A and B are shown apart, each in its own frame.
Chain A
Amino acid sequence: MKLSMWTYEGPPHVGAMRIAASMKGVHYVLHAPQGDTYADLLFTMIERRASRPPVTYTTFQARDLSGSTADIFKAACRDAVARFEPEALLVGASCTAELLQDDPGGLARTLDVNVPVVPLELPSYQKKENWGASETFYRLVRAFAGSATRPAEIPANSCNILGPTSLGFRCRDDVTEIVRLLTEEGLDVRVVAPLGASPADLARLPDAAFNIVLYPELADVTARWLKKTYGMPYVSTVPIGIGATQDFLAEVRALAGLAPREAGQDQASGRDRLTWYARSVDSNYLTNKRVFIFGDATHAIAAARIASEELGFRVCGLGTYMREFAREIREAAQAYGIEALVSDDHLDVEAAIIAARPELVLGTQMERHIAKRLRVPCAVISAPVHVQDFPARYSPQMGFEGANVIFDSWVHPLMMGLEEHLLQMFRDDFEFNDGAAASHLYPHAAEIIEDAPALAAETLVWTSDAEKELKKVPFFVRGKARRNTELFAASKGIRPITVETLYDAKAHFAR
């Protein structure tokens, strides 16, 4: 048993629902107890979907357990097919139904419904939402593209986009952005799946020359299968950030047999504002700001690259809740000289954030709340997210416009440059002081959480003058200053810490 206050991911059947809800013509019969229909409101509320998700739940109750829950399941399948007339029926169990061992797959085969049935085996006590989505997508593609024959003549510039789903972070606009970029590069985008695709579309996947995986956690498995089965190569560079988008376009052009673009001729010019914005002198003060990054593996790795190479931040923490991508995140973290955090326990994440003392947190909805408690600025870069991160306006993360969106949303929570300077110069202003948040943001009433000493109290003593001097360090770097000074003092055997020690340490580490 594992104590959990929040979960970064739902159970695997929610992943399966996301695939069903993404597609057209697919209906999902889920063997589940009464109450599991709560999942509908993820779609109808958080994503503000205008129709009910295509899911029929058996919603069995305790009194049904003495009878045949298998019959209830079969009846639900027949009713769903009759009412919704889908092109394909997904069948599966939720965690409770898994315990009943009714075997939805086996039962569905005995039904004489006139549509292809795709049974799902999603081990709920082992796997989670993203795995469930990936597995479901893979099963559907195998079912509908499995017996396709690859055409003899395939235009080299034809490709599919794999991975975007309902309830995915900014998938709606990422697809628009990337399809537009690819089309302008001269590519012929055939099928986008699962978002918006039908089972018939899945059958056409092998008709394209290659695949583009935009969200590896959702579509890597499928892309690998298509490669093995049909020899379709795939691109899995995720175009989040300017550098990544350029690499992505170069790779795609190479696969499509198009000549490489000459420098300066690409689509970036005129579209990419991030590069100039980050270059402009107003962004100078962003240099080496410490940023802690956590999220799904794809978004976290992409964010780290943007933060360090494109915005000039320093990555002081990098992690993901997806164990499946532990290797990738470790590799990425190594490049920044830090240890990756792979954990789905938010208490671990909170501890890591406190230890890293960042000036900016880029994370999920959960980190937003941790950061709020610690009074550190924060921006959301990854699911899980709440309703405000399904915005009405165009807000991709991918491509050039995505990079523009990212520049704005990551810099926004930070205190603006002049404000930051004035705070350092005049510390005793009665209105505008440490306690005040950046003036373009909401006023915080929250208390500053005083940084606990990094080392055991008995080994360190601060003189009261040194404590006072420390308070003059602006609050967003004060924790770091305290910690550095203590480390410095400990390493030199200095006790107590004086004002001199504070400045010695400052000189020693330099920001």
Chain B
Amino acid sequence: MNQPLPTSCATPPAATAATIRQRGQHEVFCGLTSIIWLHRKVQDAFFLVVGSRTCAHLMQSAAGVMIFSEPRFATAIMEERDLAGMADMHDELDQVVARLLERRPDIRMLVLVGSCPSEVIKLDLNRAAGRLNAHYAPRHRVIAYSGSGIETTFTQGEDNFLAALVQDQATRPAKSGAARLVVAGCLADVVEDQFSRLFSAFGLSDVVFLPGRHATDGLTIDSNTRYVLAQPYLGATAAALESRGATRIDAIFPLGTEGTTAWLWAIASAFGIDRARFDGIVDQPRRRAEQAISHYRPWIDGKRVFLFPDSQMEPSLARYLHQELGAEIVEIGSPYLHREHVAGELALLPPGVAISEGQDVDIQIDRCRQANPDLIVCGLGLANPFEAEGRITKWSIEFAFTPIQGYEQAGDLAELFARPLMRNSILTGRNREAAQ
């Protein structure tokens, strides 16, 4: 272990240093974790993980307190007799599904989610979904995707879910007209509403958000459909959309004032809106965003930031930190780099920024300590131990759970980074000193 893998495939953009690729312990969540936000977003879906007690325990530990309010997810836990071949897994699964749908008849879409154990024993959930669909549709639709740790990291679970949704729509009777624009990537409801208002102001209709609030909402895609990514972790979804004829609008991601403007402009110009009209529409929210960010900029300006891999949002976050808050980026870790989708973000970073893909956590921690950054963006397994060393951290999972995209959230995003620094200042009494 620990030897760098050959830097084969993509050539890194000229702006950045060679990518560090290491194979060792990955301190990351598996794709199941994305169910925690997806089940709140998609209100008629129920996510049934087919896995082990570990998977159930992960969901429960990661969902923390929330799990107890009758969540729309559960685990079908495989048992000894399933593995010993005493029970036919498909029969067992059918029974679990029957019990579940009896308890929750309101579910419109049942999503079977594959895990490491179900994949290692090659339990074919797509087949199971097909079978169950034949039985339960149209009352309940059943689809399947994988959120296993061996195949997916954290937000990649959402990617696989969205790709499965796109494929599922292909099998259903099409709505009359195809969507003109598909915005792919789970967004907080409030953000979705803000973007919707801007799109209407651009005169854009037939915009579909993927995922929508209802999994069963129609989605028709053809070669007239353009799509734009709202999240950087959607390789499989992009491929699924393209296989249905949609074309991608290339843009950086809508984080911060610059990110949001660039993203919206990419969309607006793709639909032939002229710049003057665009500026007229975004001018006010844009100024609000700048103003909100400016409150926090002094906290981040000139600070050295190290980002551990977590969600694939790291290149975009780093771009925002650097471009809009004046931070110096020490290292950008990402569990996976979809080079084409983040090329724009990387191009906006200064030359020489270290980028790492994959992880050997112990070695990365060594590098981080060595660099001694002012702020470390990392997961919950590392945050408190770093804090106990006297370092300042921002726990990264929050970026997946907080509305951060768009103009109105640009300041909130800055605040997420500034907060630990502000807190440190309060607790170490620097405020008091300053007051005297």
Contacts and interface: CB of A to CB of B under 8 A. Distances in A.
A33 B381 contact: no
A75 B78 CA distance: 30
Given A3-B100, A4-B74, A123-B80, A11 B26 contact: no
Nearest to A14: B57
Nearest to A96: B116
B67 interface: yes
A58 B119 CA distance: 18
B32 A35 contact: yes
Contact of A50 (B71, B379, B384): B384
A59 interface: yes
Interface string B69-109: 11101111111101100010100110110011000000000
B291 interface: no
B148 interface: yes
Contact of A7 (B56, B78, B121): B56
B77 A4 contact: yes
A58 B360 CA distance: 10
A79 B32 CA distance: 29
A51 B100 CA distance: 40
Contacts of A128: 53
B56 A4 contact: yes
Given A1-B82, A4-B75, A50-B385, A96 B1 contact: no
Given A35-B32, A41-B61, A369-B69, A96 B52 contact: yes
Interface residues of B, number: 67
Interface centre among B78, B79, B116, B119 (most CB of A within 10 A): B116
A61 B79 CA distance: 23
B68 A369 contact: yes
Contacts of B150: 33-35, 60-62, 64-65, 96
A7 B53 contact: yes
A200 B149 CA distance: 37
Contacts of B76: 1-4
Contact of B78 (A37, A61, A125): A125
Interface string B279-302: 000000000000000000000000
Contacts of B64: 386
Nearest to A45: B380
A217 interface: no
A441 to B, nearest CB: 18
A5 B77 CA distance: 10
B151 A62 contact: yes
Nearest to B48: A3
A40 interface: yes
A277 interface: no
A368 B28 CA distance: 30
Nearest to A346: B68
B60 interface: yes
Contacts of A154: none
Given A4-B56, A44-B385, A33 B149 contact: yes
Contacts of B24: 59, 79
Contact of B151 (A38, A51, A52, A61): A61
Given A10-B57, A62-B150, A386-B64, A76 B28 contact: no
B240 to A, nearest CB: 19
27 contacts: A1-B96, A2-B77, A2-B79, A7-B75, A10-B54, A13-B54, A35-B29, A35-B31, A38-B30, A39-B57, A39-B61, A44-B381, A46-B61, A51-B385, A59-B24, A59-B26, A62-B151, A75-B1, A76-B25, A79-B2, A96-B149, A100-B120, A125-B53, A125-B82, A125-B83, A126-B79, A126-B80
Given A3-B75, A5-B75, A40-B27, 14 more contacts: A1-B78, A2-B77, A2-B79, A34-B30, A35-B33, A37-B25, A41-B62, A44-B385, A56-B25, A59-B25, A61-B150, A62-B150, A79-B24, A96-B54
